[in-house]
A and B are shown apart, each in its own frame.
Chain A
Amino acid sequence: MTVVHSNLENVEAKMSARDVSVFYGDKKAIDEVSIDIPTEYVTAFIGPSGCGKSTFLRTLNRMNDTIPSARVEGAIELDGQDIYRSGMDVVQLRARVGMVFQKPNPFPKSIYENIAYGPKIHGLAEGKDELDAIVEKSLKRAGLWEEVKDRLQDSGTALSGGQQQRLCIARAIAVDPEVILMDEPCSALDPIATAKIEELIAELNGRYAIVIVTHSMQQAARVSQRTAFFHLGKMVEYGRTSDIFTNPLEQRTQDYITGRYG
């Protein structure tokens, strides 16, 4: 099964998955994955296309619930509580575990409204001033404030691709989540925009537990401290990023990171 490196420090786990399997109808997309997501680090999921890393990511805030045929077995805990237990509030879960998608998907509303939407529906702000403050703080954290502060009422969809993705990150930050899931956040962006997002991830590291799915091994090496390698629905190997890339224990990991398939 999964090879977990033995030299991992014993750090606090924000989320932990135990023997999680995901089915689409009869097809098993994820096979008994167990992993701890540390609070203080960026965790990267790497692996070839179709290996299930995005599917697994989406189980962490129950976004798979929207797919009627999807079924999850096993347990995923957030701060020690199973998020699939009956009585778990999905709305609250998603406010605590935010998500950024592969393709930037700002709402077709103003930049301001994009950020303010989450705090508004959760009632996080008392009055306009407080909401303004949340919008400003979120945009600043996402490194977008200087670029958009004079045109907050412009449409969010009029921004460039990289700005849109940072807007989506700001939108996720605005509800003050504990975990941020990023599903290949740079795959639709050019290298300069990618570099900005990676800088941003480095800055957010420590404040939020971050899980990033990526196709780019270089990106995983640059931004993460923990890496999990997925292949054919199984988690093959999990360890410190530096160890996975320089000293993998499994042959399949070795083959993937040296570019023999992917």
Chain B
Amino acid sequence: MTERIAPTRTPAFEARLKKRYAAERRFRALGLGAILFSVAVLVFLLGTMVLNGIGGFQRVELEIPIDLSEAGIAADPAAMQQTGAVQALEAQGLRDVVQFYAQQELGEEAASELGGQAWRDVAAAIIADPSILHEKATFSLPASADLASGYEGEGSPEMQALAQRLYAEGRIAKNFDPGFLSRSDATNPQQVGIWGALKGSMLTMLVTLLLAFPIGVLAALYLEEYAPKNRWTDMIELSINNLAAVPSIIFGLLGLAVFLTLFPNLRSAPVIGGMTLALMTMPVIVIAGRNAIKAVPPSIRDGALAVGASPVQVVFHHVLPLALPGILTGTIIGMARALGETAPLLMIGMRAFVATPPDGFTSPATVLPMQIFLWSDEIDRGFVERTSAAIIVLLLFLLVMNGLAIYLRNKFEKTW
């Protein structure tokens, strides 16, 4: 009697088994490779940004001792708290005082390279603490853009020489510039700040969220839970899917043609920017929302209906809370895309030079990606580092926004 060999123990089977394991190893290696590649690209990107951007948070400053007690400037501490205090100090000749001490301490040539707005830093210091009017204090004041590039070893030979002389005297240094986060756009890279664009982005995103989220969620709920399934709803679904794929600049044209025609006074305003971006974000939220709502088990709806919940109660007590994590995921994707958009905002005038932060939803503003775009276009070398710094601010904003959404998502996430 011949021994029966089971088909799973033949050499051919074992060879096939080896091939199957090899295929699995190949697949895992490829997957790991893909992950490592993405991480490497990300690290390279962030590394470059951070290395370039650190300089953007600093500026070249001149050290000037100023004896304010001899300058004869009077300041009533109460008046210092009111608006117009800077103008009051300017009227008393603060600008000339600063220029005088600069000439005295650094010489004529260097004093002329003090930033034109430098006296404002002194004014800000006085307003913050009027008691320094009775003392002699050393101020770090911004150098001109030319001297700053000289300090970096660029620009004209005279400026480089001047920077070297001041450096040897210990009069010039590159310091951390906290004002970058509180000032707005300027023509001089030494004077620019990101606050205006950051605030513009915040206001714009707020409008986008307040419009796109409720409209998107309500549309998704209606289409999934109430709308009859017929040719009309199929058409609406098709249109929404197409809307999500429309190039963003076309939404900008739409904003220009519709919103700015209706509200011509609101050119460059965050409210118009937010409305335009909401058009773009809403379809993303609708699509993600519908998928999340579809994924809620029908048995939960049945259970609620069977105890006598009305359709609206079923939706708001059961379906929406269970679908919310998925809806928030879609919202993160849509909002992140909206935050990074430049093209549609170009169309509605948010690329204007705006030197003061917007006071509200209707005052002219720009947004972070637009500020980055504008600065990257500048010739002055000082703007290169400022651009990188602005990119870091944009990425941090994105991180905070997404972190908040992910926190909310995890909070609402439940198993069933």
Identify the A interface with B (CB < 8 A).
61, 63, 66, 68, 91-92, 94-95, 98-101, 103, 105-108, 117-118, 121-122, 155, 157, 168, 171-172, 174-175
Q: Measured between alpha carbons, how far is A95 from B414 in the docked complex, in Å?
A: 27
Q: Most chain-A Cβ atoms within 10 A of its Cβ — which of B229, B300, B302, B414? A: B302
Chain B residues 297-320 with CB under 8 Å of chain A are 297, 299-310, 313, 317-318
A155 shortest CB reach to chain B, Å: 8
A-B contacts, 17 of them at CB < 8 A, read: A66-B301, A68-B228, A95-B307, A95-B308, A100-B306, A105-B299, A105-B303, A107-B318, A108-B300, A108-B416, A121-B307, A155-B414, A155-B415, A157-B415, A171-B303, A171-B307, A175-B308
Q: Most chain-A Cβ atoms within 10 A of its Cβ — which of B307, B308, B317, B322? A: B307
A88 shortest CB reach to chain B, Å: 13
Q: List A contacts of B304 (CB < 8 A).
A: 107, 117
Give the size of the chain B interface in residues (CB under 8 angstroms): 22
Q: List A contacts of B228 (CB < 8 A).
A: 68
Interface string of B204-242 (1 = CB under 8 A from A): 000000000000000000000000110000000000000
Q: Measured between alpha carbons, how far is A101 from B301 in the docked complex, in Å?
A: 12
Contact across chains for A68 and B297 when beta carbons are under 8 A apart: no
Which chain B residue has the least Cβ–Cβ distance from A171?
A: B307
B233 shortest CB reach to chain A, Å: 12
Which chain A residue has the least Cβ–Cβ distance from B297?
A: A105
The answer, among B297, B303, B310, B414, for a CB contact under 8 Å with A91, is B310
Contact across chains for B322 and A117 when beta carbons are under 8 A apart: no
Which chain B residue has the least Cβ–Cβ distance from A117?
A: B307
- A101-B299, A105-B299, A107-B303 known; A94 vs B308 contact (CB < 8 Å): yes
Q: Measured between alpha carbons, how far is A129 from B175 in the docked complex, in Å?
A: 66
Which DSSP category, helix, strand, loop or mixed, fits chain B's interface?
Answer: helix
Contact across chains for B305 and A66 when beta carbons are under 8 A apart: yes
Q: Measured between alpha carbons, how far is A155 from B416 in the docked complex, in Å?
A: 9
- A108-B322, A108-B416 known; A121 vs B299 contact (CB < 8 Å): no
Contact across chains for B308 and A106 when beta carbons are under 8 A apart: no
Which chain B residue has the least Cβ–Cβ distance from A114?
A: B303
Q: Measured between alpha carbons, how far is A101 from B306 in the docked complex, in Å?
A: 9
Q: List B contacts of A68 (CB < 8 A).
A: 228-229
Which chain A residue has the least Cβ–Cβ distance from B310?
A: A91
B326 shortest CB reach to chain A, Å: 14
Q: List B contacts of A61 (CB < 8 A).
A: 306
Q: Measured between alpha carbons, how far is A157 from B297 in the docked complex, in Å?
A: 13
The 8 tightest CB contacts between A and B, nearest first, are A95-B308, A118-B307, A105-B299, A99-B306, A108-B416, A105-B303, A94-B308, A108-B414
Which chain B residue has the least Cβ–Cβ distance from A100?
A: B306
Which chain A residue has the least Cβ–Cβ distance from B414?
A: A108
- A101-B299, A105-B303 known; A91 vs B415 contact (CB < 8 Å): no
Q: Measured between alpha carbons, how far is A61 from B297 in the docked complex, in Å?
A: 21
The answer, among A63, A108, A157, for a CB contact under 8 Å with B302, is A63
- A91-B310, A117-B317 known; A108 vs B305 contact (CB < 8 Å): no
Q: Measured between alpha carbons, how far is A66 from B416 in the docked complex, in Å?
A: 22
A178 shortest CB reach to chain B, Å: 12
The answer, among B299, B301, B309, for a CB contact under 8 Å with A103, is B299
Q: List B contacts of A155 (CB < 8 A).
A: 414-415
A176 shortest CB reach to chain B, Å: 11
The answer, among A98, A103, A157, for a CB contact under 8 Å with B307, is A98
A15 shortest CB reach to chain B, Å: 16
Interface string of B390-416 (1 = CB under 8 A from A): 000000000000000000000000111
B384 shortest CB reach to chain A, Å: 53
Q: Measured between alpha carbons, how far is A98 from B301 in the docked complex, in Å?
A: 14
Contact across chains for A108 and B303 when beta carbons are under 8 A apart: no
B292 shortest CB reach to chain A, Å: 14
Q: List B contacts of A175 (CB < 8 A).
A: 307-308
Which chain A residue has the least Cβ–Cβ distance from B230?
A: A68
The answer, among B301, B305, B317, for a CB contact under 8 Å with A94, is B305
B231 shortest CB reach to chain A, Å: 14
Q: List A contacts of B299 (CB < 8 A).
A: 101, 103, 105
Which chain B residue has the least Cβ–Cβ distance from A62?
A: B305
Q: Measured between alpha carbons, how far is A101 from B297 in the docked complex, in Å?
A: 13
B145 shortest CB reach to chain A, Å: 61
Q: Measured between alpha carbons, how far is A41 from B299 in the docked complex, in Å?
A: 28
Contact across chains for A121 and B308 when beta carbons are under 8 A apart: yes
Q: Measured between alpha carbons, how far is A103 from B228 in the docked complex, in Å?
A: 27
B140 shortest CB reach to chain A, Å: 59
Q: Measured between alpha carbons, how far is A68 from B229 in the docked complex, in Å?
A: 9
Contact across chains for A168 and B303 when beta carbons are under 8 A apart: yes
Q: List A contacts of B300 (CB < 8 A).
A: 105, 107-108
Q: Most chain-A Cβ atoms within 10 A of its Cβ — which of B306, B310, B313, B317? A: B306
Q: Measured between alpha carbons, how far is A171 from B318 in the docked complex, in Å?
A: 15
Q: List B contacts of A157 (CB < 8 A).
A: 415-416
Q: Measured between alpha carbons, how far is A107 from B314 in the docked complex, in Å?
A: 11
Kindly list 4 other residue pairs between chains A and B, CB separation below 8 angstroms, not including A68-B229, A175-B307.
A61-B306, A94-B308, A107-B303, A175-B308
Q: Measured between alpha carbons, how far is A63 from B300 in the docked complex, in Å?
A: 13
B269 shortest CB reach to chain A, Å: 43
Q: List B contacts of A103 (CB < 8 A).
A: 299
B230 shortest CB reach to chain A, Å: 10
Q: Measured between alpha carbons, how far is A100 from B304 in the docked complex, in Å?
A: 11
Chain B residues 303-343 with CB under 8 Å of chain A are 303-310, 313, 317-318, 322
Which chain B residue has the least Cβ–Cβ distance from A120?
A: B317
Q: List B contacts of A95 (CB < 8 A).
A: 307-308
Q: List A contacts of B416 (CB < 8 A).
A: 108, 157
Q: Measured between alpha carbons, how far is A172 from B306 in the docked complex, in Å?
A: 8
A181 shortest CB reach to chain B, Å: 8
Q: List B contacts of A100 (CB < 8 A).
A: 306
